[in-house]
Structure 1
Amino acid sequence: MSVVGIDLGTLNTVIAVARNRGVDVITNEVSNRATPSLVGFGPKSRYIGEAAKNQEISNLKNTVSSLTRLAGRSLNDPDVQAEKDFVSAPLVDINGQVGAEVTYMGKKEQFTATQLVAMFLTKCKATASAELKLPVSDVVLSCPVWYTDSQRRAMLDASEIAGLKCLRLINDTTATALGWGITKLDLPGPEEKPRRVCFIDIGHSNYTCAIVEFRKGELAVKSTAWDRHFGGRYFDKAMTDHFAEEFKEKYKININENLKARFRVIAGVEKIKKILSANSVAPLNVESVMNDVDVRGMLKREELEELVKPLLDRVTVPIEQALAEAKLKIEDIDVIEMIGGCTRVPSLKARIQEFFGKPLSFTLNQDEAVARGCAFSCAILSPVFRVRDFSVHDMVNYPIEFTWEKSDDIPDEDTSLTVFNKGNVMPSTKILTFYRKHAFDLEAKYAKPEQLPGKTNPWIGRFSVKGVHEDSKGDFMICKLKARLNVHGVLNVESGYYVEETEVEEPIPEPPKEEKKDGDAMDVDSKETKDEKPKMRKVKKQQRKGDLPLSAGTASLDEATRNAAAEKEAQMIMEDKLVADTEHQKNELESFIYELKDKITGVYSEFASDDEKSKLATKLDTIEDWLYDDGEDASKAQYVSKMEEIRSVAGPIIQRYNDKIEEERQAVLKKQQDAAMAKQAELERQKRELEAKNAPPEKPDAEMTDAEAVKPDEVEEPSA
């Protein structure tokens, strides 16, 4: 079972996996550790990730970017309208959701932002499966901290369409904090002062600041603040606008009138930005930007800083907001941890360091910290891995209130209640109590719509409570509803039930006895005090009697729509696979033709007659001509058929060659075996000779001599 974390970024996506007693970032099909967050559409198939990046300039109208900025939004949202500066595909409204209209397989198609995110997640799933050689199902996805309920639901729907089970939708900075804290062994204990860390994440399009308190085995997010329109792409835009004006004067061309020209310049200035992070000056060269005009330019670091001065002037605003919400001062912060690609800009780092008056910390990988935190979170939630216990207490970023219609039976009843306040711990559960005689509805919405991103609809959901009726005495039914803001940051009314009040007797707790003081009179226990029973009182207690049926209407896709989208995605995956297999078969055929043309005059020459050579050459020429003419867009079956045609002619020649090679191989093998046997026999002979040479000499059996036969002391002496 796999444990995967995905940092779904505006520009790039990073995939991390828990394995080998740690977390690894996995590479994609071209060995890059980050995959472009792009989905493109072509005449035969889709292009996702690296493939979409490779054809982006030539296929701008059919390539969609900024997926996370579009998910869960509507077309008329000012934020979405602002995205048109960065998204090249035309954006459209699809049943209240923003989507893109593209040309796919020769016809116009419309896909919602949720479907587009699902397509990209399908690619992430395939990349992870290929690396792990295991099926991938459980993931933890990151999302911007400012995401609303509808945006979070869109991400969850997208993961389901992609066939993934999202164990947790985690805020970017919370994932970073988890990755930072879980490896620390020196965190303070429960009774000690917590370690306070300010995490600053400035990426391609978002700037987020979070203040997090760490104690041993836990983290608690105390405050978060953000700037949704601050990041690398706004630096790129400032430079692109600068060069657009320069090229107008110098080359008399307007790149803003040509989408491809502008995107070519954007690609160039992105490289300049990276060069200027380490150098004082950088050149820009774009060949044939438009109207066959080559352009050249130069930018100094000081000029770049002047261009982005409006951005740099507001760089400390989110930090100030986060400190104010956490009720902390600069000196209360122990560590300032920087992540995100944009934090490499020297002037930006300098401004933040000047604000804090202490060195910044760069101990985390700026591009991979969020993905690693996601993988740790997935490992904690997965039953497969044993991970050090680490609790994550996130916080509510927007206050949520419930509203309902006033009951005719309760004229002075309030009709709204803020249930989850900003700063409350998340996940969180609250029990709401209603006194009703009939079924009723309640709505959940954000209490302060002005705090939401763009012009987001503050509505979250409508919940209908059924099965409510007056009791046998004509009194109200006491209804209890369980409202939960879950680990994803999504609100639901999970269950409803009704209770009845019953009178029960319970002992009255005795007041604590006063201690006897010196000089007090002697205590005398009366007999009646000893025998007295504890005093009882009647109290009303609520007992659960039954469940109340609930129905909900939220921003989540209904099951039928989600299933239809999943089927559509599965169909497109099969089409992509067929196109990839067809292209592979075409390449195989082309390689086979060139290989045979080379070998028929080389290694195959002596195994074919002149007639066979001529016949094969004619067949190869015919199929090669077909391949580059009618066969350019042929089906997989046609390429297989042409391959078989060639094999029917070349097969006997190849077989004779292979037989000869096999014969030679067997001869060499036999020769090697004979040599090995001869060597073994020689070793055996040498062994025997050595054994004979080193054996001890045997004593020969000799005839007994006369002297040995009769010993001297046994000779009889002659008689006198």
Structure 2
Amino acid sequence: MSVVGIDLGTLNTVIAVARNRGVDVITNEVSNRATPSLVGFGPKSRYLGEAAKNQEISNLKNTVSSFVRLAGRSLNDPDVQLEKEFVSAPLVDVNGQVGAEVTYLGKKEKFTATQITAMYLTKIKGTASAELKLPVSDVVLSCPVWYTDAQRRAILDAAEIAGLKCLRLTNTTTATALGYGITKTDLPAPEEKPKRVVFVDIGHSNYTASVVEFKKGELAVKSTAWDRHFGGRYIDKALVDHFATEFKEKFKVDINENAKARIRVAAGVEKLKKVLSANSVAPLNIESVMNDVDVRGMLKREELEELIKPMLDRATAPIEQALAEAKLKPEDIDHIEMVGGCTRVPALKARIQEFFGKPLSFTLNQDEAVARGCAFNCAILSPVFRVRDFSVHDIVSYPIEFTWEKSEDIPDEDTSLTVFNKGNVMPSTKILTFYRKHAFDLEAKYAKPEELPGKANPWIGRFSVKGVKEDSKGDFMICKLKARLNIHGVLNVESGYYVEEVEVEEPIPEEKKEGDMDVDSKEPKEPPKMRKVKKQQRKGDLPLAAGTAALDQSSKDTAAEKENQMIMEDKLVADTENTKNELESFIYELKDKILDVYAEFANDDEKSRLNTKLEAIEEWLYDDGEDASKAQYVSKMEDIRSIAGPIIQRYKDKIQQEQEVAMKKQQEAHAAKQAEIERKKREEEAKKQAEAPEPKDAEMTDAETTKPDEVEEPSS
């Protein structure tokens, strides 16, 4: 059983697996440790990950990026409108959700951001399976801490469509904190002062700061703050705008008029930015950026810092907010751990270090820390792994309230209640009590809509409680509802039941007076005094109907079926392309070998027929056969083999005969060698026996020996 953690990023995705008593980050099909978060659509198949990156510039309108930030949102969301600047494919409304309109298999198709995320997760699942040589099912996925209920449900739906079981949807900084703490052996004991660490994660498009307290075997997130529009892509945008102005003045080309040119400049400035992290100056050279014009430029680190000054001015805002919410000061923090690719920018590091007044820590891998934390979390949740006990206490990001209609029988009843406050520990369960005579509905929504990202819809879900009726006396039914904010950060009303108040007798506890002593007595004790009390007893369940932002099961099944169809189409296209390549290679191989290797095994007629056939099929391959089916390529391969087969077989027969002769000679040589060894062995043994000294007779005493001529006569 596999244990996989996935850092699902806006720019790249990193996959980590728990194995060999540790956690490894795995590579994709081109040996990269991070896979581009891109999905492209073509006339024959889809392009996922690396394949999508390779065709991005030539297929901009059909390549979708940033789908992780789009999932679970609507087209008119202000954040989605801002995201259009970073997505080259046209965004459209698909049944109330934002999606992309692309040309796929020669026709216009609309896919929701959730579907596109599922397509990409299918690719990630395949990459992990290929590396592990095992089917992948259980995973832990990361998401930004600021995701709403609808966005979290969209990611979970995408995972399910892709055939993945998400054990936990974890916040990125919480995953980083787990990866940091679970390996530490020097954490303070539960009764001691906790170790306080601030995790600063600045990636491609997000900036998150979390204050986390560690004790032995547990971590507790105390506060988290974020900036959703802060990261590497905003630095890239500032640089592209700068060079766009420069190129317009110096080379008379406007890259803003050509989307492909702007993408090429964006790729160039991303490299330039990385060079400037280690050097004071860096060049930019792009050949034929547009209209066959080559452009070049130069940038100093000081100029870069001036360009991104508005960003640098708010570099510590999330940290300040997180510390304020945790009621801590910079001097209360023991360590500041930096992760995310953007934390390599020197000016950014300098601003944060100046704020804390102490050195920053870079003990974690900046690009892979989140994925590693997700893999650790998956191992903890998986039944097949034994992991050191480590508890994770995350917190609620936005306050959640329930509202309901006022009961006619209770005129002064409140109609709303904040059930989960910001900062409450998560997961968490609350029991709500209602007094009703009829079925009723209640709605869950975010209590402070102004705090949501991009003014998102605060609505979370509507829950209908059925089976409610007045009791036999005409009184209210006491309804209990279990509301749970689960480990994914998703809210559900999990169950409902009703109770009745019944009178039960229970003993009255005796009050002991000071000085009283328990003394064993042989006298019988008086029976305890009893009292009647009212207690609630569970009597039955109440049926619930829920309406949330999550896809219903039939929609997920339909999307999964569509995904499987597209997987099969992709596989057929890949197999067809491989068969075509095999045919092309076979033609070139035979053309070469018939002149030398196979020359003596074919007569002139066979050579002529084979060459004619190869020329004809090669011509077909580059003309009508460019877009042929797999069956056609296989048929052409068989046509060639019908002529080349006997020739190749003769060559193989001779090779086999030569191998048999060589083997026989080798065996004979080996036997002769063994015989020679045996002969020499026998000669050596014979020689040793010949050189051995003759054994001497044992010496006898005079008493034991008599000479023949001195035989004693027997006495008479």
Within 5 Å, which residues of 2 pair with 1:468-487? Answer: 468-487=468-487
Q: How far has the Cα of 1:250 moved from its partner?
A: 1.2
Q: Summarize deviations over 1:311-345 as a string: whole Å, max 9, x none.
A: 00000000000000001111110010000000000
Give the residue type in structure 2 aligned to 1:84.
K
- Which residue in 1 is equivalent to 2:509? 509
Q: Which runs of 5+ in 2 are unaligned?
A: 698-703
1:718 Cα shift?
12
Secondary structure at 2:455's aligned position in 1? coil
Distance in 2 between residues matched to 1:306 and 1:236, nearest whole Å: 14
Q: CA deviation at 1:685?
A: 1.4
Deviation per CA, 1:359-381: give whole Å up to 9, x if none.
00000000000000000000000
- The aligned counterpart of 2:612 is 618
**Partner of residue 715, structure 1:** 711
Alignment of 1:72-221 (within 5 A): 72-221=72-221
Say whether residues 1:566 and 2:560 are aligned partners: yes
Distance 1:563 1:470 in 2: 40
For residue 700 of structure 2, what is the aligned residue in structure 1?
A: none
AA matched with 1:129: S
Rounded Cα–Cα distance in structure 2 between residues aligned with 1:555 and 1:304: 42
**2:440 equivalent in structure 1:** 440
For 1:716, give the aligned amino acid.
Answer: E
- 1:534 corresponding residue in structure 2: 528
Q: Say if 1:712 and 1:343 are closer, same or farther in 2 by CA, change over 3 A.
A: same
Aligned counterpart, 1:607: 601
> Can you give the 5+ residue segments of structure 1 that lack an aligned partner in the other structure?
517-522, 702-707
Partners of 1:595 and 1:247 in 2: how far apart?
49
**Equivalent residues in 2 for 1:252-263, closer than 5 Å:** 252-263=252-263
| Shift of residue 534, structure 1, vs aligned partner | 3.0
Secondary structure in 2 aligned to 1:85? helix
SS at match of 1:603: coil
Q: 1:597 aligns with which of 568, 576, 591?
A: 591
Partner of 1:41: 41
Look up the match of 2:701.
Answer: none
**Aligned pairs for 1:366-405 within 5 A:** 366-405=366-405
Shift of 1:714: 5.5
Deviation at 1:583, TM superposition (A): 0.4
Match of 1:498 in 2: 498
Q: Distance in 2 between matches of 1:716 and 1:395?
A: 125
Q: Report the residue type matching 1:466 in the other structure.
A: K
- After superposition, residues 1-20 of structure 1 pair within 5 angstroms as 1-20=1-20
Aligned to 1:27: 27
Match of 1:650 in 2: 644
Structure 1 position 515, deviation (Å) = 3.7
Q: The residue matched to 1:163 in structure 2 has which SS? A: coil
Secondary structure in 2 matching 1:643: helix
Alignment partner, residue 264 of structure 1: 264
- Distance in 1 (alpha carbons) for counterparts of 2:134 and 2:125: 10
Distance 1:494 1:664, change over 3 A: same
Partner of 2:669: 675
Secondary structure of 1:179 counterpart: helix
Aligned-pair distance for 1:531? 5.8
Structure-2 residue corresponding to 1:636: 630
Counterpart of 2:355? 355
Q: CA deviation at 1:716?
A: 3.1
Q: Deviations over 1:133-165 (max 9, x none)?
A: 000000000000000000000000000000000
> 1:475 aligns to what SS in structure 2?
coil
- The answer for the alignment partner of 2:574 in structure 1 is 580
Report how far residue 294 of structure 1 moved. 1.1
Looking at structure 2, the residues matched to 477 and 583 of structure 1 have their Cα atoms a distance apart, in angstroms, of: 68
SS at match of 1:84: helix
Q: Deviations over 1:601-642 (max 9, x none)?
A: 011011111111111111100000000111111100000000
1:511 shift after superposition: 3.0
Deviation by residue 1:5-61 (Cα, 9 ceiling, x = unmatched):
000000000000000000000000000000000000001000000000001000000
Cα drift, residue 717 of structure 1: 7.1
Query: Residue 281 of structure 1: CA displacement?
Result: 0.7
Partners in 2 of 1:416 and 1:713 — Cα distance? 144
**Percentage of pairs with the same residue:** 84
Q: Does 1:552 align with 2:539?
A: no
> Could you tell me how far apart the structure 1 residues matched to 2:495 and 2:694 are?
103
Amino acid at match of 2:548: T
Distance (whole Å) between structure 2 residues aligned to residue 282 and residue 718 of structure 1: 131
Distance in 2 (alpha carbons) for counterparts of 1:407 and 1:425: 32
Aligned with 1:454: secondary structure?
helix
User: How much does 1:436 deviate?
Assistant: 0.5
CA distance in 1, matches of 2:349, 2:404: 49
| Normalised TM-score (structure 2) | 0.96
Q: Provide the rounded CA distance (Å) in 1 between the counterparts of 2:705 and 2:351.
A: 122
Q: Structure 1 counterpart of 2:531, which letter?
A: R
Deviation at 1:185, TM superposition (A): 0.5
1:571 CA displacement? 0.3
Q: For the residues of structure 1 that align with 2:335 and 2:379, how far apart are their CA atoms? A: 26
How far the C-alpha of 1:713 sits from its partner, in A, is: 9.6
Matched AA of 1:638: Q
Tell me the distance in 2 between the aligned counterparts of 1:13 and 1:428: 30
What displacement does 1:697 show? Answer: 6.3
Residue 545 of structure 1, CA deviation = 0.6
The residue type paired with residue 648 of structure 1 is S
Distance 1:714 1:490 in 2: 127
Match of 2:305 in 1: 305
Q: Deviations over 1:439-472 (max 9, x none)?
A: 0000000000000000210000000000010000
SS of equivalent to 1:348? helix
Give the C-alpha shift of residue 291 in structure 1.
Answer: 1.5
Alignment of 1:410-421 (within 5 A): 410-421=410-421
- Quote the Cα distance in structure 2 between the aligned partners of 1:683 and 1:636: 60
Q: Secondary structure at the match of 1:268?
A: helix
Which amino acid is the alignment partner of residue 659 of structure 1? D
- TM superposition shift of 1:67: 1.6
2: CA distance, partners of 1:712 / 1:614: 107
1:713/1:189 CA distance change after superposition, 3 Å = farther
**Cα distance in structure 1, aligned partners of 2:309 and 2:182:** 37
Decide whether aligned partners of structure 1 residues 505 and 601 sit closer, same or farther in structure 2, where only a CA change above 3 A counts. same
| TM-score (norm: length of structure 1) | 0.96
CA offsets 1:220-245 (integer angstroms, 9 cap, x no match): 00000000000000000000111111
